[in-house]
A and B are shown apart, each in its own frame.
Chain A
Amino acid sequence: MSAVARLATLPWPGRIGLAIVAFWLAMAAFGGFLAPHDVGAIVSQDVFGAFSARHPLGTDYLGRDMLSRILHGSRFTIGLALAAALAASTCGTAIALVAATAGGWVDEAVSRVMDAFISIPSKMLALVMVAAFGSSPALLILTAALSYTPGAFRIARALAVNVRTLDFVQAARARGEGLPYIAAVEILPNMVNPMLADFGLRFVFVVLLLSGMSFLGLGVQPPDADLGSLVRENISGLFEGAPAVIVPAAAIATLTVGVNMLIDSVSGRARAVEA
């Protein structure tokens, strides 16, 4: 089935999710060029300004244009989260394939190390990393990837162990195939669908982790801002119901909800097609 035909049969929640995700990806890619003002420019006397024709999303606590800030911020949030989630899922899947295919003590050793990692709270790890090395986008990616690799590994290993016991893997073993071939050609293609769903979930987790870090002031540093730091810096506007705090919060919400809607419909369909 071609990609277009698949799209046509996507149920409505999936299409809405897809539209939201596509919108945010486009914003991350091109938002910086569309922004009417510079990200740090103070353009208005009015702090916590309301929605207006000049400033469609109002102004922030310093009188900066919120639309421009969101367009810039989404690039950080989505870019960092995408990189970190990709790294976590890829590493997790790769390690899981090695562990599951080799089995025996290799599997045992790798799984226990991963269990140890899983027991470290992700926010705690991030705080320690930032305290030790200072905050930078590269460190944030590394930290988030490190936090979510064990989770991806757990899922991938559970899938790989199931696939490993299937008859076609036994047939490959009886044919005399080596472990790398079995892992990459026999097992991996049969766990791609659920791993994609898992990737989407990791992405959402990383967005929330980064936003949380920025909210604490330990994430992306000024003058740059991601969606989380936009919420934090404008938190005092909450009492006046300023758009400056509501809009970035809504942006995070739509992004995570959209990704989840897409994942749910895609992974549900993958199951339905297999059954």
Chain B
Amino acid sequence: MDPLVRVEGLRITARKPTGEAAVLVDDVGFEIPKGEVLALIGESGSGKTTVALSLLGYARPGCRIESGRIVVDGIDVLSLDDEGRYGLRGRKVAYIAQSAAAAFNPMKPLMDQVIEAALIHGTATRAAAEAKAVALFADLALPDPGGIGRRYPHQVSGGQLQRLMAAMALITDPGLVVLDEPTTALDVTTQIEVLRAFRAVVRDRGATAVYVSHDLAVVAQMADRIVVLNGGRARESGTVDQVINHPRDEYTRRLVAAAAPQPRGEPRGAVETPLLEVRALVAGYGRLDRDGLPAARVLEDIDLTIARGAAVGVIGESGCGKTTLARVIAGLVPAARGDVRFDGQPLPTDLRHRSREQFRRIQIVFQNADTVLNPAHSIERILARPLAFYRGLRGEAARARIAQLLDLVKLPASVASRRPSELSGGQKQRVNLARALAADPDLILCDEVTSALDTVVGAAILDLLADLRRELGVSYLFISHDISTVRAVCDEVVVLYAGRKVDAGDRAAMGHPPFHPYADLLIASVPALRIGWLDALPRRLAASLPPVGEALDEGLCPFLPRCAVRRAGRCDTTPAPKQVLPGGREILCHVSLDELARIQSGGAA
């Protein structure tokens, strides 16, 4: 039987602003038999999205499909005229974009947008399309399938929106569905639900799909075959089992290795002088009430100690308050209650009361290297400022130190004269780090420093952080949503949920049960690089969970609405106690630790 999709010798070029042509995709070819899922995997700039979009006969502005052949369901896509493409898109080939939040029109109800393609292409009457949409909503495990279509995009969660987008794509029963990083922007706990839903509908309907992703572990759950792209060329292609378990290409091997971060650096003993101590911290945003508490409290009663030279990781999903914690320590957000001590001295939480020396010793490295370097300044100027500001270094001395710093973060000295826009994401993150190091700090607050980077580049940054800690003895507060990253670099891990510290312990203790139920969910939700991982997931993670931040009575366990092991009559009436294990392990939960350990090791695959 002929394959549904055949791509041959695809070559796509772009014209740079300077006029010269750049080859984005060169000589890529693959086939997809009907009913199979093909994954396109690679880092940013590998051309994976460009290839995926070409299946719709689309090249982004400035790009041109130069040569090659794309046949989808017997249609030669590249020879189509405007009208032909109009009939193809949304009808034969549907596209699911990375950011559903950006792809929906906020002014129209969801149902109108979901069935739009069916109405445009005239495949169904309005009533029939709506009925079909409701059935799709149910298949995608959306809550209230009959009513959700009347809501507007801002009234549903990110994970739900992503599934609604899948419904939008499937409404015309397209022959081919293109999914472009559909879960990359989601929290791991949400990602699981979306992946489950996607796979169920893809399987049940026998849809043929192209799944674009940078995440091998996710792809292992979703795809039948993988094409590994790098620099616009196909490096390797084969079945999922072949590529993941027996990679032949050097680049693929690096990709597989980076998917499972190895621990870096030896864990350190606990008995050392604390460098940073946070006690009973309460912080938030908005107007202060009469008691001096902010309207929106983001952090609630946080204790945290960082020993000199130690690395403490803070994890939690978006909105849990981890970034706010770093901002309070950096002085960007005032604390409403509690105190912060740095090296034995109280640390004012208001910027204006800090000394320059205190500023120097605590440096913050922000998440997004694209926006954290002033685009109007050269790298040299960016790095020279902290040198001049904190240490009065100028001229030749400053230039020598800049060269040293660039060397320390493994960047060539020639970078100094460039602007941030001329650097890659990984290079910018290194400059970002070098700027913090320029101050010779004692503590570096790393806020999601690898989240925006590709796996391979992120792994290199993690190595760098571990090296720097060994060589310079700096301490880290390492914030991430990815527990495997945190476990790879940190001695201690703190789990935040809705602004509360629900679980904390050293790296070894965080490797096995008991966990706080939320930590358990978080850990089990990280996709493993193993075929069939998604199917083997324990049922206790399966419940469709409402989002964080529901209004709860003061003091009750914030995780209660999502908790699979909650105890009626206890959890919903009294605040959860802090249970302490030997070795400094703390878990905020009613359920006894023995019982937690029993449930979690029993269910875990």
Contact = CB atoms under 8 A, between A and B. Distances in A.
A216 B331 CA distance: 59
B371 A176 contact: no
Contact of B332 (A168, A174, A192, A272): A174
B286 interface: no
Contact of B17 (A168, A175, A176, A273): A273
A192 B377 CA distance: 13
A176 B356 contact: yes
A176 B351 contact: yes
A20 B174 CA distance: 55
B332 A166 contact: no
13 contacts: A9-B17, A167-B371, A168-B373, A168-B374, A170-B366, A173-B351, A174-B351, A175-B385, A175-B439, A189-B376, A189-B377, A192-B376, A273-B17
A170 to B, nearest CB: 6
A176 B372 CA distance: 15
B526 to A, nearest CB: 27
Interface of B: 17, 330-332, 351, 354, 356, 359-360, 363-364, 366, 368, 371-377, 385-386, 389, 421, 435, 439
A273 B368 CA distance: 20
Interface string A1-38: 00000000100000000000000000000000000000
A264 interface: no
Q: Which of B366, B374, B389, B435: most chain A Cβ within 10 A?
A: B374
Interface residues of A, number: 19
A54 to B, nearest CB: 50
Interface in A189-220: 189-190, 192
B372 A167 contact: yes
A189 B366 contact: no
Nearest to B421: A274
Q: Which of A170, A273, A274: most chain B Cβ within 10 A?
A: A170
A168 B371 contact: yes
A190 B375 contact: yes
B374 A189 contact: yes
Contacts of A171: 364, 366, 372, 435
Given A176-B351, A176-B354, A190-B376, A166 B371 contact: yes
A175 B374 contact: no
Interface string A236-275: 0000000000000000000000000000000000001110
Contacts of A186: 374
Interface in A142-185: 166-168, 170-171, 173-177, 185
A175 to B, nearest CB: 6
Contacts of B439: 175
Given A167-B366, A272-B17, A174 B330 contact: yes
Nearest to B375: A190
Nearest to A191: B376
A105 to B, nearest CB: 15
A273 B419 CA distance: 13
Given A171-B364, A190-B375, 7 more contacts: A9-B17, A167-B368, A168-B373, A171-B372, A175-B363, A175-B386, A274-B421
B495 to A, nearest CB: 25
Contacts, number: 52
A78 B421 CA distance: 37
A173 B356 contact: no
A166 B374 CA distance: 9
Contact of A175 (B368, B371, B376, B389): B389
A161 to B, nearest CB: 16
B238 to A, nearest CB: 38
A168 B435 CA distance: 12
Nearest to B332: A174
A47 B377 CA distance: 60
Contacts of A174: 330-332, 351, 359, 363-364
A181 to B, nearest CB: 9
Contacts of A192: 376
B207 to A, nearest CB: 35
A179 B351 CA distance: 12
Contact of A176 (B359, B376, B377): B359
A186 B364 CA distance: 17
B366 to A, nearest CB: 5
A103 to B, nearest CB: 13
Nearest to A168: B374
B372 A168 contact: yes
A261 to B, nearest CB: 21
A104 B102 CA distance: 32
Contact of A170 (B332, B363, B385): B332
Contacts of A176: 351, 354, 356, 359-360, 389
Nearest to B326: A174
Interface string A34-65: 00000000000000000000000000000000
B602 to A, nearest CB: 45
A51 to B, nearest CB: 44
A60 to B, nearest CB: 49
A29 to B, nearest CB: 31
A272 B359 CA distance: 37
B345 to A, nearest CB: 16
A86 B532 CA distance: 68
Contacts of B17: 9, 272-273
Nearest to B438: A175
A184 B593 CA distance: 56
A180 B435 CA distance: 21
Contact of B359 (A166, A175, A273): A175
A253 to B, nearest CB: 33
Nearest to A186: B374
A192 B364 CA distance: 28
List 9 A-B pairs, minimum CB-CB distance, nearest first: A176-B359, A189-B376, A167-B372, A167-B371, A168-B374, A174-B330, A174-B364, A167-B366, A190-B376
A33 B249 CA distance: 76
Q: Which of A166, A173, A174, A189: most chain B Cβ within 10 A?
A: A174
Q: Which of B360, B363, B372: most chain A Cβ within 10 A?
A: B372
Nearest to B360: A176
A185 B374 CA distance: 9
Contact of A173 (B332, B385, B435): B332
Contacts of B374: 168, 186, 189-190
Interface in A88-117: none
A272 B360 CA distance: 37
Contacts of A274: 375, 421
Contacts of A9: 17
B373 A177 contact: no
Contacts of A173: 332, 351
